[in-house]
A and B are shown apart, each in its own frame.
Chain A
Amino acid sequence: MSFLKIIEEYQDFNIDAFFDRVTEAGVRRAIGQDRLSAMDYLTLLSPRAESCLEEMAQKAHRLTVQHFGRTMLLFTPIYTANYCVNRCLYCSFNAGNKLHRTKLTPKEVSAEAEIIAATGLKHILLLTGESRQHTPVSYIKDCVRLLKRRFTSISIEIYPLNREEYSELSEAGVDGLTLYQETYDRDAYACLHPSGPKRDYIYRLDAPERGCRGGMRSVNIGALLGLSRWRREAFLTGLHADYLQSSYPDVEISISPPRMRPHLGGFQPAVNVTDTNLVQYVTAFRLFMPRSGITLSTREPAGLRNNMTKLGVTKMSGGTSTAVGGRSNGSEAGQFSIADERSVEEMANMLYRQGYQPVFKDWQAV
């Protein structure tokens, strides 16, 4: 089975007609459920539910404290290459953009890792563009070998792999996989990915599942908000998470709600996703999946991240650079521009001020 089957079940589902029928009483009933159904979740994503946002936020906060405590896991990305054969319209690394292409040598990976490790972080997310020529799986494995010396948890956010390759990386020490579908809307997906292997919607859709089968401990999915109608994207992301969690109960499934950020190229978001929308999405998802992780990255500005600490988020990045070797040479262009430039120490202090314990280490490869 593939999550595609569930997407197809909702192909002709009229979401607007459903939203038209949602009443405030229906929203309150959904908030009050112990275990929400898919339709309860969709009810909480409706425009009508906006008037109950405070109630949703309070329950989201309560559930998160109950299951995760007042803690926040901190991590940071390390970009090791920006070669890419795809032309995703929303990304600076798009093969059509004029950009200095580079990849870190082992020595450079170590130098960058050393700078990050000095901040105390133990969880790292390794990113590259899609280029089997410049950054094949063997290159990723070499990077992992170096990162393992300083970090206890290594996740990857790279091109989709086959199951054997995920197993290979898992055995090499990768315990987490982040892979965003970008958009679940197939028409929008086709327009946004005009060429390159990423055009294959289904191969990408099934990649998180292959990661689960390949031995990943944690799998993080999401849609890039701004590419298509966000309520539908949020709904399908939730269903995707639910599907994976039911099929692979021993894997920690989590989501990210990344919003579009400025990047090289002229593409503008098709949909404006406001702060209110983002809060509605995150709190609705927390009520739908009380024990799943939610990551909020530096795509969001400092003030909003501070305020969202208590709204269901369990993981935040800090001390971020989205450029290859951005911490050691600082001159390259990033994948997108970040909105929260705070260092790890500043993030930790913000969390302490809010009565939260920053967690630097929450896994150790065994």
Chain B
Amino acid sequence: MAEAPLLSVKDLVVEFPTRRGLVLRAVDGVSFELRQGEVLGLVGESGAGKSITGAAVIGLLEPPGRIAGGEVRLKGERIDQLDRGAMRRVRGGRIGMVFQDPLTSLNPLYTVGQQLVETIQTHLPLSPAQARQRAVDLLVEVGIPAAERRIDSYPHEFSGGMRQRVIIALALAAEPELVIADEPTTALDVSVQAQVIAVLKRLCREKNMAIILITHDMGVIAELAHRVAVMYAGRIVEIGPVRDVVKAPRHPYTRGLMGSIPDPAAEADRLTQIPGAMPRLNAIPSGCAFNPRCASVLDRCRRERPSARVVGSSEVACWLDDEQLRRSDLQAVVAR
């Protein structure tokens, strides 16, 4: 029998009621599972619903945003209906968080050590001295040189890359089973990004920790993730092993997306171009949300919404048949 998943998200719907009485659906029926030690990439262009999905999982949706359907289970237990206090214990305890902007996630008025010790003592029954020792260990773990000395520094005394490592240390404070990292390297230079990727890779191997890695950068996904879910207009259009999705994408949007990324390892004359842009929430097309931009569009795509089905080792939400989705030259169809 298969091991129960660490996290299971089923048919998640997130809505934002507007003042005008409209209801905007930012996440519309998202489902995925995550095993222990697994890194799941959540990728897509801005506005796809990646961050909102992450926030919903850890109960950090900003009102009036609300979960309007579906369920979130951690080791089989529902966590989407917990009261605030219980959710706060899960968050930072069993689930850690890393956000894009290290400056807003750290308090400038306290030293790095004070912030780490406070987080550690909130979640673990340790004495101040033990907590401080654990803080030093954590800084060593995320690769801060001379951690014993640097622990009493203030955030502004650290570079951007070191601050991001401190944020990761904070997320790890209570030895969580799962870390949700939203654009953890987006604000960083490539050399610093490479160092942060290396830290995350090592932690996940050594601690068997699972990560939901939210990013718009396919390169970061290719480096870190085991599986990847591609989001478009609040839905997952394709989910599967990272190698399949990156090297042999099936869904027309994933194909277009991959083709539009300049390959750092090759020269190419022209990039694949998808016409148009991601729709706004108040104008999501009916049927398949990608249909106005899709070159393979069928009549039915404009009326009926495709649900995910298994194709090879991935799941794809598209009305094209298996044979078409498998064709490597579907690109030619997409390019019109």
- Indicate, yes or no, whether A interacts with B: no
Query: Which residues of chain B have a CB within 8 Å of any CB of chain A?
Result: none
